[in-house]
Every structure is written in C-alpha cells, then in structure tokens.
Structure 1
Amino acid sequence: MNPQQARLWEAIRIVPHKWEEKSYGKLGNGFWIVAIIGATVIWYNDIEDGFNRSHYTSFGTMDEYWCNQDELEMALQHVLNFVETGQETRTTIGPSMPGKWSR
C-alpha cells in the first residue's frame, strides 16, 4: 500500500467478520467485511477471490454483490478517489447471468 492507502486502511479497517448477502452469500454464510466507511463496506469475496466495495442500509447485511477480483489496495484507492473527488472511479462487475449469449 502507498502511504495514503495505509492511513485510510488504519482508519476504516475492522476485525473481519461475516455479513449476510441475500443472493450469493448463502453459499458460504456471507462474506468477510474488512472495513467500513459511512454506508459502504469493503469485503472479501471468497467465491471470486478478490475485494469489493458495496453499500449497506442495515448493519450486518450487504445490499450489493459484485464479483470484482480487486486487490485490497485497489479497493482502498477507489475509496480514496471518491473521498477526494466525489466521483466514482471503480467499475463493478456483476455476477454471470444465465441465458443465451449472442454476438
């Protein structure tokens, strides 16, 4: 981590614990929340093996599922960018959708 990311990490990190997520979280009894800032959590997706950032409205339950496979530093950098500029810089990758694929 660069120094800015490390300072942010120290300010928002928590002891990891699992939170519910209604669509894909049932498989592993939730996902590991590692940081909280405002109404946003940084969490580890053990299905996709990467970190993501999601909103929540009820403590203990994530509102969104993403399958980004970011390193922790990347997830923190997206938070820093948002705090500094107010602009969302991350792209979110949703789960695969069943159905016919066409070109």
Structure 2
Amino acid sequence: MSWEPISEVEIWDLINKSYERMSPEQRRVWEVIKIMPQKWSEESFGGLGGGFWVVAIIGETVIWFNDIEDGFNRSRFKVFGAINEYYCNQDDLECQVQNVINHLKTGYDAAGYTGPPHPIE
C-alpha cells in the first residue's frame, strides 16, 4: 500500500470530528484561530504531498496536519505559506488547541514536540 496525501475533503472531515470532541473553551479558541485549510510548503518532507494542510494561525505559529505521520502539529513560520519546523506528533486537533490555551494561560509552551527522523550512525 502506497502513501497518498490527504485531500481537502478528508482534512475537513478530521476538523469536523475534532470539533465535535472539543470542550466549550477549546471551541471558543478554535473559532478565533482557525483558517480555511490551505497547503503550505515545508522544506524537509512537505514536497512529498505538495505541502501540508495548515488549519489555524496563532501569532507566528500554525497548526497543521502531518499526513505522513497522521497527526496535528504546531510549528513556527517566518514567511506566510512556509512552515519552518517539521514535527511528527500524532495529536488530534483538539490537543493542539488545548496546547494553545495552556500557552495563553501560563505564558510558556509546555507541549511536547516529536522531531523529524534522524539517520542512525
């Protein structure tokens, strides 16, 4: 079985299912940070599927779906349309929204980040 990038219909399905599981507080924050899903480039692995779907923008960070690893991540960006950091968390969308809420409440980002694969030496 070969890998296929996630379609726009499929990303909307994931968003809608996550929204159903969100708490009222998560939904309020989601309504402020969400954008229409759009493909953004990512240098290390983004070329495989024509980029990754970005679904929310918070300051200089985005929430995006890694369809290679099947999970939502939060990464920084400098240029609109280009994700700077590749992560391979396998989080549901509501988990990433909760990470934003926690960051806003505490002033620091305590979320865990799973980085890209590294060659074995």
TM over 0.5: yes
Matched, 1:59 2:80: yes
Structure 2 equivalent of residue 22 of structure 1? 43
Quick one: which of 54, 60, 69 aligns to 2:90? 69
The question of 1:84 aligning with 2:105 is answered yes
- Report the Cα distance in structure 2 between the residues aligned to 1:14 and 1:95, rounded to whole angstroms: 25
1:38 aligned residue? 59
Query: Which one is further off, 91-100 or 38-47?
Result: 91-100
Gaps of 5+ in 1: none
**Displacement after TM superposition at 1:47 (Å):** 0.4
Rounded to whole Å, the distance in 2 between the matches of 1:38 and 1:4 is: 19
Identity fraction in percent: 56
Stretches of structure 2 lacking an aligned partner (at least 5 in a row): 1-21
2:117 pairs with 1:96? yes
Q: Aligned-pair RMSD on alpha carbons?
A: 0.7
Aligned residues: 100
Post-superposition shift, 1:89?
1.5
Please give the alpha-carbon distance, in whole angstroms, between the structure 2 residues aligned to 1:49 and 1:89: 22
Q: Where in structure 1 do 4 or more consecutive aligned residues deviate above 2 Å?
A: none
Give me the TM-score of the superposition, normalised by structure 2.
0.80
Answer yes or no: is 1:4 the counterpart of 2:40.
Answer: no
